[in-house]
Amino acid sequence: MNTRIKSLLVPAVLVVVVLLLPRFITSSYWLNLINLAISFSIACLGLNIVLGYTGQLSLAQAAFWGVGAYTSAILTTQLGLPVWAGIFAAFFVAALCGVLLGIPTLKLSGHYLAMATIGFGIIVQLILVNEIWLTNGSDGITKIPSPWIGSFELKDPATFFYVAAVSLILLTWGAIHLKNSRVGRAFMAIRENEMAAGTTGVDTTYYKIMAFALSAGYAGVGGWLFAHGGSHYISPDTFSFDQSVILLVMTVLGGNGSAIGSIVGGTLLTLLPEVLRFLKDSYMMVYAAGIVLIMIFMPRGIAGLVSNMPISLRLRTWWNADSVATLQVAATASSRENSGGSQKAFTPRDCSGSGEVLLTVKGLAKHFGGLKAVDGVDMAVRRGEIQALIGPNGSGKTTILNMLSGLYVPTAGEISLGGAAIAGKKPHIITSLGMARTFQNIRLFGELTVLENVLIGRHCHSRAGLFTSILRLPSQKAEEAAIRAKALEMLEFVGLNGKEFAQANSLPYGQQRLLELARALASDPQLLLLDEPAAGLNAAETEALVGLLFQICTRGVTILLVEHDMNLVMNVSDHITVLNFGKKIAEGSAEEIEKNQEVIDAYLGTEVGNA
Please list every residue from 113 through 132 that binds another protein, using CB under 8 A: 114-116, 118-120, 122-123, 126, 129-130, 132
Closer to another protein by CB, 37 or 559: give it.
Answer: 37
Among 284, 315, 324, 473, binds another protein (CB under 8 A): 284
CA proximity to 358, closest of 379, 339, 338, 377:
379
Closer to another protein by CB, 94 or 404: give it.
Answer: 404
The region of 278-286, 339-347, 463-471, 580-588 touching another protein under the rule CB under 8 A is 278-286
CB of 91 to another protein, least distance (A): 21
The footprint of another protein on residues 339-378 (CB under 8 A) is 368-369
Residues 163, 168, 173, 179: is their CA dihedral positive or negative?
positive
Closer to another protein by CB, 79 or 292: give it.
Answer: 292
CA proximity to 454, closest of 299, 561, 327:
327
The region of 207-215, 289-297, 341-349, 521-529 touching another protein under the rule CB under 8 A is 289-297
**What mask of x and - would describe binding to another protein in positions 429 to 468, judged by CB under 8 A?**
----------x-----------------------------
Report the C-alpha gap between 63 and 222 in whole angstroms.
11
Among 5, 79, 275, 540, binds another protein (CB under 8 A): 275
Residues 54, 60, 62, 66: is their CA dihedral positive or negative?
negative
Q: Which one-letter DSSP state was computed for residue 600?
A: I
Report the C-alpha gap between 211 and 53 in whole angstroms.
8
Length of the chain: 611
Secondary structure element (H or E) that encloses residue 364, with its range: strand 357-368
The region of 86-94, 295-303, 383-391, 508-516 touching another protein under the rule CB under 8 A is 295-303
Q: How many CA atoms lie within 13 A of 395 on its CB side?
A: 21
The region of 161-169, 226-234, 337-345, 574-582 touching another protein under the rule CB under 8 A is 226-234
Closer to another protein by CB, 308 or 343: give it.
Answer: 308
CB of 569 to another protein, least distance (A): 22
CB of 241 to another protein, least distance (A): 8
Q: Which residues pair with 586 in a beta bridge?
A: 578
64 binds another protein (CB under 8 A): no
Report the C-alpha gap between 324 and 244 in whole angstroms.
39
The footprint of another protein on residues 27-56 (CB under 8 A) is 27-29, 32-33, 36, 51, 55
CA proximity to 486, closest of 511, 451, 517:
451
Report the C-alpha gap between 444 and 224 in whole angstroms.
40
**What mask of x and - would describe binding to another protein in positions 145 to 184, judged by CB under 8 A?**
----------------------------------------
Among 11, 82, 299, 465, binds another protein (CB under 8 A): 299
The footprint of another protein on residues 234-273 (CB under 8 A) is 234-235, 237-238, 242, 245, 248, 252, 268, 271-273
The region of 67-75, 211-219, 223-231, 340-348 touching another protein under the rule CB under 8 A is 223-231
5 binds another protein (CB under 8 A): no
Report the C-alpha gap between 505 and 443 in whole angstroms.
10
Dihedral over alpha carbons 476, 482, 484, 485 (to 10 degrees) = 160
CB of 313 to another protein, least distance (A): 12
283 binds another protein (CB under 8 A): yes
What contacts 24+ positions apart, CB below 8 Å, involve 267-272? 267/34, 267/37, 267/38, 267/40, 267/41, 268/302, 269/40, 270/33, 270/36, 270/37, 270/40, 271/33, 271/34, 271/37
Which residues, including other chains, have CB under 8 Å from residue 438's CB and lie 6 or more apart? 513, 516, 517, 520, 529, 530, 531, 533
Among 17, 276, 420, 471, binds another protein (CB under 8 A): 276
Q: Which amino acid is at 15?
A: V
305 binds another protein (CB under 8 A): yes
The region of 5-13, 285-293, 353-361, 560-568 touching another protein under the rule CB under 8 A is 285-293
Among 290, 392, 498, 588, binds another protein (CB under 8 A): 290
